Structure 1
């Protein structure tokens, strides 16, 4: 019998996923709603599959840090992300953290079930659309990484390309305004551009690889 840990802060999402998993015989199904309780539940129960949202209890992308903690505790854990985030930058970060599958919350329930079954049996799942976007991003990320940009800097660059200002970027990423300004200053140095306008121009010229 396959066991699962569901980590999501939306009661209706927990209920829906639980019913779908019960229908295919998953037992037991443990539930948690935030990073702390999710990590504790994992350590206590050591489920076969962990299903986790990336945004938990108002903590934007807090699920990523939870995934990293779970992988550190047990590298063989099978993790399936169920998220509203379709930004390839975020998807890539999740995949690089060691997850075995990634499903969007607006996907049909049949895809969620198929993804769970693949992950539970040691395979992987990534929708074709997301896979293409991540492949493009990986190519561009290799180029950007050669300029020593960090994952966070690439993410900020992506948001700049989409017209976000510093305040909006700070809010979306759950970081401080000063962190954003410091990152942009660092990127201007690394990319050898002089002004914010130059940085935005660079972001727009590379938006096929860092945005969706």
Structure 2
């Protein structure tokens, strides 16, 4: 039997159709974007497409982060665990690329790419690049370019150990405890 990642079932008392990982992740990413944009503005730099990266959009998407995560979950039908792994990847990307700043211009493309890569690595059944491109509002060519860029920025380090996965789950649970009103049910299943 091969030891695999735990599978989490996140439930919310507010909305049973969406796992609460989406709300917690949206909150974390929203705060990260706000902090980075404050830092950029206080340093006198602007966050324009020219001085960022391949993930930067031409303009800030109208859809808020939480709604965007819900859209990806609804249409990709990926596991809630893929969102945990996607967040691990985003953290790794930031650590590997210290000059990279997540802003309103790049967060949607980064979310789309990180969830897509996480589902490919984690889920037995997953959507292809073309489908993720449509869900994320991108062209297939853009999606393919972003995937390659993302993999290089991660240095192709996609494996997430059980202990790392569990530590991120604990981080999300602490966020829930601080925010209140959302309950997380953890179910561990071994992948064979």
**TM-score, length of structure 2 as denominator length:** 0.26
Question: Higher strand fraction: Structure 1 or Structure 2?
Answer: 1
Greater RCO (CA < 8 Å, at least 6 residues apart): 2
Structure (1 or 2) with the larger CA radius of gyration: 1
